[in-house]
Amino acid sequence: MAPNLSAFPPNTLAAQLLAAGEPSRAARRGIGQGEAVFRQGDPATAVFLLESGRVRLARMLADGSAVILQVAESGDSFAEASLSVSQYHCDAVAEADSIVWALPKADLLAKLAREPAECLALAMVLATHVRNLRARLALRDIRSAPARLLGWLRLHAAGDPPVVPVRRSWMLVAEELGLTREAVYRALATLERQGCIRRDGHTVHLFARAGL
């Protein structure tokens, strides 16, 4: 059984990884909420595609704290760094019941070695992926909670005018941003009061405001 291609939109990293690998050799796994896809230090044997659900990737630090590297949602890929390392450098834990596909690392590397065009195409998409990851991590350097949250919203916005469908709890968003849930709620209230955003159920509408 191979992954359903329609679950992974064209021109995404997940779709590119499928094209670069051997889809028929992918392994499908059901992961319950709170269960780990892998743990930090486990042997890095596969890259993963998320058919449905949500998976959080967090790196545990020496002081016991964690840095959230990615929150993968349906149609995303994760653990692409496994292609160049021997061990996973973070935990991947399901935030909701999820279905993941494991693409064997050995298959991907072998095909990329045989087909330079596939390798180049994947490298281009990976470069965009890395830029987005760096942008998410850079948000933590913003001292103001409203400005940090606004940066997160802009990073996830789409459309014109821009909107953000918030598919997870604000508590989880707070963890990703390194804020408390209370700080995020205060920041939301501040941004609404300043006319930067408008909340409509699980959707946030963004408006341009000078000085932010």
Return the pLDDT at 151.
92
Q: How many CB atoms lie within 10 A of CB 100?
A: 26
CA 104 to each of CA 26, 62, 79: distance values in angstroms, whole numbers, following the listed order: 7, 30, 12
Enter the tokens of residue 60.
Answer: 């545990």
- SS3 string, 151-172, reads HHHHHHCECCCCEEECCCCHHH
What's the pLDDT at 202?
Answer: 87
Predicted local confidence at residue 70, as pLDDT: 85
What pLDDT is attached to residue 10? 65
Domain 143-206 in CATH 3.60.20.10? The answer is no
Domain ranges of the chain: 5-139, 143-206
What does the pLDDT profile of the chain (212 residues) look like in tens digits?
666 656 676 667 777 777 777 777 888 999 999 999 999 999 999 999 999 999 999 988 888 777 888 888 888 889 988 888 999 999 999 999 999 999 899 988 888 888 887 777 777 777 777 777 787 778 878 999 999 999 999 988 888 889 999 888 898 888 888 889 999 999 999 999 999 999 998 899 999 764 44
Beta strand extents in the chain (DSSP E only): 27-31, 36-38, 46-60, 66-73, 77-78, 91-104, 163-165, 197-200, 203-206
**Quick one: pLDDT at residue 211?**
46
* Whole-prediction pTM: 0.69
What pLDDT is attached to residue 2?
61
Q: Any idea which fold 5-139 has?
A: Jelly Rolls (2.60.120)
- Give the pLDDT score at 210: 42
SS3 69: strand
